[in-house]
Structure 1
Amino acid sequence: MIRQAVKLTFATSILLMLLQSSPAQALNKLPDIGGNAFSTLTPEKEKQLGDVMMRQTRGQLPMIYDPLLDEYINALGNRLVARANDVKFPFKFYWVNNRQINAFATLGGNIASHTGTLAVADSESEFASVMAHEIAHVTQRHIARFVEAQNQRAPLTIASLLGAIVLATVNPEAGMAAMMASQGAAQQSAINFTRSNEQEADRIGMTILAEAGFDPNAVPQFFTKLSEQSRFVNQQLAFLQTHPLSQARVSDTRLRAQQFPTRFVPDSMDFTLSKARVLARYHHDTKDALTIFQRKLAEPGGNTRANRYGLAVALLDNKDYAAARAQIEPLLEQDPHNLYYLDVLTDVMIGQQQYQQALDLLQQEYLLRPNNQVVTLNYANVALKAGSHQLAIHLLRNLLYYKDDNILALDLLADAYKQKEEFARYYETRADLFYQLANYPKAIDDLNEALNHLPAEARLENRRLEAKKRQLQAEFDRLQRM
Structure 2
Amino acid sequence: MINKFWIFQIFQILVWSNIKLFSIKKVNYMSCRPVLKKPRATIADIVLFWLILSLAYLPSASVGQELPQLGENSVINIEWERKLGEDFYRKLLAQGAVETDLLVDQYINDLGAILLSGMDSRVRDYRFFIVKNLGINAFAVPGGYIGVNIGLINQAKTRHQLASVLAHEIAHVRLMHSLRLMEKASNLSSTALVSLLAGILLAGANPDVGSALLFGSVAGSQQSVINFTRENEYEADRLGIELLQDAGFDANGMVEFFIIMEKLAGNSEFQSIEYLRTHPVHVNRISEAVARIRQGTQPLQGDIYYSMFRDYLEYISFDHLEVSGSQFRKALALIKLGQHDLANKMLVKLHQQDGGNIWYGYTLAENLEAMNLPRDAEKIVRQMLDIYPGDYVLSLRLVRLLRTSGRYADALKIARSLEINYPQEQAVYYELTEIYRRLGQANLSMMSEAEYHQLKGNRERAVQLYDQILSSADTDLTTESRAREKRKQIEK
3-state DSSP of counterpart to 2:139: strand
User: In the alignment, which of 309, 322, 346 is matched to residue 290 of structure 1?
Assistant: 322
- Distance 1:427-1:157 versus aligned 2 partners, 3 A rule: farther
Which moved further from structure 2: 272-281 or 412-421? 412-421
Q: 2:211·2:278 contact (CA, 8 Å) conserved in 1?
A: no
Percent identical across equivalent pairs? 26
- 2:66 maps to a residue whose letter is G
Deviation per residue, 1:85-137 (Å, 9 max, x gap): 68732322111122322211111222121222222222221111111111111
User: In the alignment, which of 32, 35, 52 is matched to residue 66 of structure 2?
Assistant: 35
Which moved further from structure 2: 97-106 or 420-429? 420-429
- Distance 1:265-1:356 versus aligned 2 partners, 3 A rule: closer
Displacement of 1:57 in angstroms is 3.0
Displacement of 1:439 in angstroms is 1.9
Matched, 1:75 2:110: yes
3-state DSSP of counterpart to 1:89: coil
The equivalent of 1:88 in structure 2 is: 123
Matched, 1:57 2:92: yes
State the alpha-carbon separation in 1 of the partners of residues 461 and 327 from structure 2: 43
User: In the alignment, which of 454, 473, 481 is matched to residue 464 of structure 1?
Assistant: 481
Q: 1:171·1:242 contact (CA, 8 Å) conserved in 2?
A: no
The higher relative CO (CA closer than 8 Å, separation ≥ 6) is in: 1
State the alpha-carbon separation in 2 of the partners of residues 468 and 160 from structure 1: 38
Displacement of 1:178 in angstroms is 5.5
- Distance 1:61-1:151 versus aligned 2 partners, 3 A rule: farther
State the alpha-carbon separation in 2 of the partners of residues 210 and 43 from structure 1: 27
Q: 1:316·1:348 contact (CA, 8 Å) conserved in 2?
A: yes
- Distance 1:317-1:419 versus aligned 2 partners, 3 A rule: farther
3-state DSSP of counterpart to 1:319: coil
Deviation per residue, 1:225-266 (Å, 9 max, x gap): 112112222531121122122333233333444x53376753
User: In the alignment, which of 274, 280, 285 is matched to residue 315 of structure 2?
Assistant: 280
Q: 2:90·2:456 contact (CA, 8 Å) conserved in 1?
A: yes
State the alpha-carbon separation in 2 of the partners of residues 51 and 262 from structure 1: 37
The equivalent of 2:28 in structure 1 is: none
- Distance 1:414-1:166 versus aligned 2 partners, 3 A rule: farther
3-state DSSP of counterpart to 1:290: coil
Q: 1:359·1:379 contact (CA, 8 Å) conserved in 2?
A: yes
Alignment of 1:131-210 (within 5 A): 131-151=166-186, 165-170=200-205, 190-210=225-245
The equivalent of 2:400 in structure 1 is: 381
The equivalent of 2:430 in structure 1 is: 411
The equivalent of 1:346 in structure 2 is: 365
Unpaired segments ≥5 residues, structure 1:
18-32, 297-306, 476-482
- Distance 1:438-1:161 versus aligned 2 partners, 3 A rule: farther
The equivalent of 2:21 in structure 1 is: none
- Distance 1:417-1:178 versus aligned 2 partners, 3 A rule: farther
State the alpha-carbon separation in 2 of the partners of residues 116 and 269 from structure 1: 21
Which moved further from structure 2: 361-370 or 408-417? 361-370
The equivalent of 1:314 in structure 2 is: 333
Alignment of 1:192-271 (within 5 A): 192-232=227-267, 233=269, 235-257=271-293, 260-261=295-296, 266-271=301-306
Q: 1:50·1:109 contact (CA, 8 Å) conserved in 2?
A: yes
The equivalent of 1:433 in structure 2 is: 452
The equivalent of 1:423 in structure 2 is: 442
Which moved further from structure 2: 175-184 or 389-398? 175-184
Matched, 1:127 2:155: no
- Distance 1:334-1:396 versus aligned 2 partners, 3 A rule: same
- Distance 1:164-1:118 versus aligned 2 partners, 3 A rule: closer
- Distance 1:468-1:265 versus aligned 2 partners, 3 A rule: closer
Matched, 1:474 2:482: no
State the alpha-carbon separation in 1 of the partners of residues 205 and 222 from structure 2: 17
State the alpha-carbon separation in 2 of the partners of residues 463 and 162 from structure 1: 41
Displacement of 1:468 in angstroms is 3.7
Equivalences, count = 439
Displacement of 1:368 in angstroms is 5.1
3-state DSSP of counterpart to 1:337: coil
- Distance 1:87-1:141 versus aligned 2 partners, 3 A rule: farther
3-state DSSP of counterpart to 2:322: helix
Q: 2:334·2:342 contact (CA, 8 Å) conserved in 1?
A: yes
State the alpha-carbon separation in 1 of the partners of residues 109 and 270 from structure 2: 34
Q: What is the alpha-carbon root mean square deviation over aligned residues?
A: 3.7
State the alpha-carbon separation in 2 of the partners of residues 369 and 74 from structure 1: 17
The equivalent of 1:356 in structure 2 is: 375
State the alpha-carbon separation in 1 of the partners of residues 487 and 211 from structure 2: 36
User: In the alignment, which of 413, 416, 420 is matched to residue 394 of structure 1?
Assistant: 413
- Distance 1:183-1:443 versus aligned 2 partners, 3 A rule: farther
Displacement of 1:313 in angstroms is 2.0
State the alpha-carbon separation in 1 of the partners of residues 226 and 95 from structure 2: 26
The equivalent of 2:18 in structure 1 is: none
Which moved further from structure 2: 147-156 or 337-346? 147-156
- 1:351 maps to a residue whose letter is A
Displacement of 1:424 in angstroms is 2.5
Displacement of 1:141 in angstroms is 1.0
The equivalent of 1:116 in structure 2 is: 151
- 2:339 maps to a residue whose letter is D
State the alpha-carbon separation in 2 of the partners of residues 336 and 435 from structure 1: 38
State the alpha-carbon separation in 2 of the partners of residues 330 and 248 from structure 1: 49
Deviation per residue, 1:261-313 (Å, 9 max, x gap): 3767531122232122123332xx333x133xx2x2xxxxxxxxxx2222222
- Distance 1:164-1:467 versus aligned 2 partners, 3 A rule: farther
Q: 2:385·2:395 contact (CA, 8 Å) conserved in 1?
A: yes
Displacement of 1:322 in angstroms is 0.8
Q: 2:182·2:197 contact (CA, 8 Å) conserved in 1?
A: no
Q: 2:245·2:297 contact (CA, 8 Å) conserved in 1?
A: no
Q: TM-score, normalised by structure 2?
A: 0.77
